[in-house]
Amino acid sequence: MDRVDKALLEALQDDATLTVAELSEHVGLSKSACWRRVQNLEDDGIIGARVTLLNQEKLGLNLTVYSAIRTHEHTAEWFEGFHKMVMAMENVMEVHRLSGDIDYLIRSVVPDMRSYDEMYKEMIAKVNLYDVSSSFSMETIKYTTALPLHDL
């Protein structure tokens, strides 16, 4: 990956709606060369998707919840059930399997506390969880989806 690829990726991270013409002007390549590079980045899986980011508060999803999950079950069967559950819950935005005392960390967005309580009850009804400890975001100080490319 050279500086042109990084420049393309940075531009697309800022605005995925840029046309090939706009990208080629931004990085100083012909349209066809720029298109080929973007295609190569997609084919290599470096560009995984082009999406539109929505404003969760304007959509009434005012509460971001981080749930630390601990389980005493570490079997393939339990994991399959947990995986199915979180994949089916549309309010669950991220799930990470962690090292240390916490087994999983879930980030979810919901309209309000009542909605989170319904989500919590759904989780504990579907999968055996030893402990669910949730924290509620009071303020987002920094949020980005752009990956740091300068050290690559």
Q: Are residues 107 and 67 located together in one domain of the fold?
A: yes
**Roughly how many angstroms between the first and final C-alpha of the chain, as a whole number?**
8
What CATH number did the domain enclosing 33 receive? 1.10.10.10
- Is residue 114 a part of any domain in this protein? yes
Number of domains in the chain: 2
Query: Residues 38, 78: one domain?
Result: no
Domain that holds residue 129: 63-136
- Chain-centroid distance of CA 40 in Å reads 23
Q: What is the pTM of this model?
A: 0.89
Query: Would residue 49 count as lying in a domain?
Result: no
How does pLDDT run across 109-121, given as a tens digit for each residue?
999 999 999 999 9
Is residue 141 a part of any domain in this protein?
Answer: no
- The answer to whether 106 and 94 are in contact (CB under 8 A) is yes
Q: Are residues 35 and 68 part of one domain?
A: no
Does a structural domain hold residue 145?
A: no
Q: Per-residue pLDDT tens for 28-86?
A: 999 999 999 999 999 999 999 999 999 999 999 999 999 999 999 999 999 999 999 99
